[in-house]
Amino acid sequence: MRETTDDREFDSRFDAAFQPGFDDSFGIGFAEAVRSVETAPRTGPLEGAPAPRARPLVDRFVIALWVIGAGLLGLGLVGVTNAMVSFSSSYGPTPDYLIGVVFAQLAPWLVAIGLATLIGTLFLLAIRWEHRP
């Protein structure tokens, strides 16, 4: 509970240093805490130890994603082209009709997944980008 005093500006809930008109000439303010922090001596790599390897500039996972994405995109484009050519001509033999139909049905999905993979790896590279000297 708050103590009542004659001085309306003094609030007993708080330290005197935070009251209006406080004068620190008597030395009752906050004392600076003296701490001596010793830092550990810095040393370089141990003699005879191999130098730390630099991070490789090429990430094999991203390269694999690029190859897979390009392969899916190329396979899908070949499938779309093959479907347009084989189903637009009414003459000639069609012994591989079933494979052509399956390929024609999967081709748009292959194109979409290939593009998504390539765009996703671009975003991955953009997120992990580091400026190198």
* ∠ CA 68-72-73, rounded to 5°: 115
Amino acid at position 14, single letter: F
72 vs 53: CA distance, rounded Å: 35
Residue-range definition of the domain harbouring residue 105: 60-89+97-127
Please check whether residue 25 lies inside any domain of the structure.
Answer: no
Please check whether residue 49 lies inside any domain of the structure.
Answer: no
CA distances from residue 98 to 12, 76, 109, 117 in whole angstroms, order as listed: 91, 17, 18, 28
Please check whether residue 17 lies inside any domain of the structure.
Answer: no
Please check whether residue 111 lies inside any domain of the structure.
Answer: yes
Please check whether residue 80 lies inside any domain of the structure.
Answer: yes
pLDDT digit string (tens) for the chain, length 133 residues: 555 555 566 777 777 777 777 666 665 555 555 566 677 666 666 666 677 676 666 788 999 999 999 999 999 999 998 888 877 776 666 667 788 888 889 999 999 999 999 999 999 888 888 765 4
Please check whether residue 74 lies inside any domain of the structure.
Answer: yes
Please check whether residue 79 lies inside any domain of the structure.
Answer: yes
73 vs 62: CA distance, rounded Å: 16
Give how many domains the chain has, as a whole number: 1
